[in-house]
Structure 1
Amino acid sequence: MEELTGHIEHLTYHDEETFFTVAQLLSPNQKKPIVITGILPAIQVGETISCQGTWKRHPKHGMQFEVETFELQLPTCARSIEKFLASGALRGIGPAFAAKIVQKFGKETLAVIEKQPKLLSQVEGLGEKRTSQLVAEWMEHKSLHELLVFLHGYGITRAYARKILRAYGSNALQKLKANPYQLA
């Protein structure tokens, strides 16, 4: 089994029910993106992924890396963070605001959103309402992301994971780890 690490450049296909995904992964030591396939819940453009798997030749689409296990990491470089924010993962932030925010905070953007949201007022056009929406969207995305990765191994769908998140709030993962039987 080989290991690849890089950031998601493009989602070619993603099934919300089964989580089967075809994506393009750009590795730091590659010039062209690599096609990866597999069951990848909660994956977004701009996120960094470390995956283990094997190379397969698809009869129509050529060489692809078939992911067996993976670990998602938050984007760490400014370019990946901008792609992630511009991808629509967080409602209310499109390419223009993503560029402005990342231009101001660089690779610290996600830390600013999470830990120092008042600094976002320094971004032109980002008012109090949009800032609070961005922070709420980020916290929900992060909680859902962590929950999906945890629940994936148990065959839980994204829709059900959202219900769990709504029922238990941002501490859903900790509550489930403490007492998984409460879902029954």
Structure 2
Amino acid sequence: MRTTQRASIRGVVDTVFYSGPTFSAGRLLCADGSAVKFAGKVFVRENDAVRLEGRWVDHPKYGRQFEAEFMGHDLEMDPDGLANFLANHPDVKGIGPVKARLIADEFGRGFDAAIRSRPEAVASVAKVPVETALELQRVWVANSDFNAAMAYLSAFGLTHHQVTTLVDKFGSQVVPMLESDPYVLMREITGFGFKRVDKIARKLGTPKDLPSRIRAGIHYCVLAALDDGDCWVEYEDLLDRANTLLVMDTLDSREVIERHLEAMTAEGVLVSQPFERLVVADPEIQRTETELAAFLKMAHQPGPHPVGDVEGLLNAEGAELNPEQREAVKNALAHSISLMTGGAGSGKTYAVSTITSIAERLELRVVLAAPTGKAAKRLEQVVGHEAGT
């Protein structure tokens, strides 16, 4: 049974049953001495002082426990809690139980202000080098930054691991940065596409005409077309797609989108080419196509392994080839690059099988590859030769 009412619990992680980047289970020792079992999409370590938010559940196997949805580091501690945090936190180095108690007794609930503004005073009380106090300051501030980020990012449904990734990269600037441009998540977190981020950003009051939103929407339309098999998108069609996606509620929305599209192509974020019509693509697509075109230009060059008596080999290994298949095999044996096309059932695989047989007869090494594991398996079964992806 799972209660619908949200709850929050605080304490120190006493035992960890399992801990990974996206899920942890353990036991929390609360300030009143009670022990609470918890599990959820958080990452914890033993002796972490944490605040868990979630719901109480009756697990069919583990009984009553707390289902944690979000986690913050509990920095609102009394002197005893602070001493425990300093002495046991795995990232705090050079502060044992005795020094931790000296700091807790001296600063108590004023420790946050002291470590941020007067780390040398903390070092003096604990009788440790200033460098140790500065490292302690870094750990303390990082935990504070994480709390602020977790509170803000809870609306986005990010995991503990994802929040940690953002905090590690952007530090104390992560929340103000995302407040001004939540679409940064699309670049930094795998799996966060435009529609997912936009839905939450709009709930948080992000204006529809935010430049980063418009640019993210345009780029999303280009990548969506790529998923549909279109490497390039017609310029006018892209404007229509973006206009439909962004729903900007202004009469000049298409013109606004076009100005951003022009800026993106000028900056190299996107590329455009005047083929039969003006088309737009992601730069990586253009780079890949350019490399492929240069590679295919070498197709007329003779193969690195000249093959003599091709007709005799074809008669021996491919007697059942039709004229088109026979010509395809000849091309493959004669040139450094050969492209074979044909519909399903046209005999492409049988032609490849013949090429493989001839190569093996000539004691040449053959490597077969296909774009998917399933296709490679099928190729391997038909040809009778190992294939990979």
**The two structures share one fold, judged by TM-score above 0.5:** yes
Q: Percent identity?
A: 18
**Is there any run of 5+ residues in structure 1 with no aligned partner, and where?**
none
Coordinate RMSD, CA, aligned:
3.2
Write the deviation string for residues 109-155 of structure 1: whole angstroms up to 9, x where unpaired: 23321233232133142221112221122222322343345445433
Q: Residue 42 of structure 1 contacts residue 145 of structure 1 at CA under 8 Å; is this kept in 2?
A: no
For residues 38-117 of structure 1, the aligned pairs below 5 Å read 38-41=40-43, 45=47, 47=49, 49=51, 51-57=53-59, 59=61, 61-68=62-69, 73-92=74-93, 93-117=95-119
Tell me the CA shift for residue 171 of structure 1: 1.0
Q: Partner of 1:119 in structure 2?
A: 121
1:154 aligns with 2:157: yes
Measured at CA, do residues 167 and 111 of structure 1 come closer, stay the same or move farther in structure 2, by a change above 3 Å?
same
SS across alignment from 1:85: helix
**C-alpha contact (below 8 Å) 2:21/2:43 kept by paired residues:** no
Higher helix share: 2
| 1:19 pairs with one of 3, 20, 23 | 23
Which deviations, in whole Å up to 9, do the C-alpha atoms of 1:29-54 show, x marking residues without a partner?
A: xx432222222346774635263412
Paired residue secondary structure (1:34): strand
SS in 2 for 1:123: helix
Look up the SS of the partner of 2:21 in the other structure.
coil
Cα distance between partner residues in 2 of 1:126 and 1:46:
23
Gapped regions of structure 2 (runs ≥ 5): 188-389
Residues 15, 21 of structure 1: 8 Å contact kept: yes
Write the mapping of 1:129-148 to structure 2, written as runs, cut at 5 A.
129-148=131-150
Please give the alpha-carbon distance, in whole angstroms, between the structure 2 residues aligned to 1:49 and 1:157: 13
Q: Give CA-to-partner distance per residue, 1:72-106, whole Å, 9 cap, x none.
A: 64232111112222222433134333222112222
Give the match for residue 165 of structure 1.
167
Match of 2:37 among 35, 40, 53: 35
Query: Which digits, 9 at most, give the CA deviation of each residue in 1:5-60, with x for residues without a partner?
Result: 332241424523213332314153xx43222222234677463526341241453x
3-state DSSP class of the match of 2:183?
helix
> In 1, distance between residues paired with 2:119 and 2:177?
26
Greater relative contact order (CA < 8 Å, ≥ 6 in sequence): 1
Q: Which amino acid aligns with 1:154?
A: G
Shift of the 90–68 alpha-carbon distance from structure 1 to 2, 3 Å rule, reads: closer
Q: 1:85 is matched by which residue type in structure 2?
A: L
Larger Rg: 2
Is the 1:90–1:138 Cα contact (8 Å) retained in structure 2? Answer: no
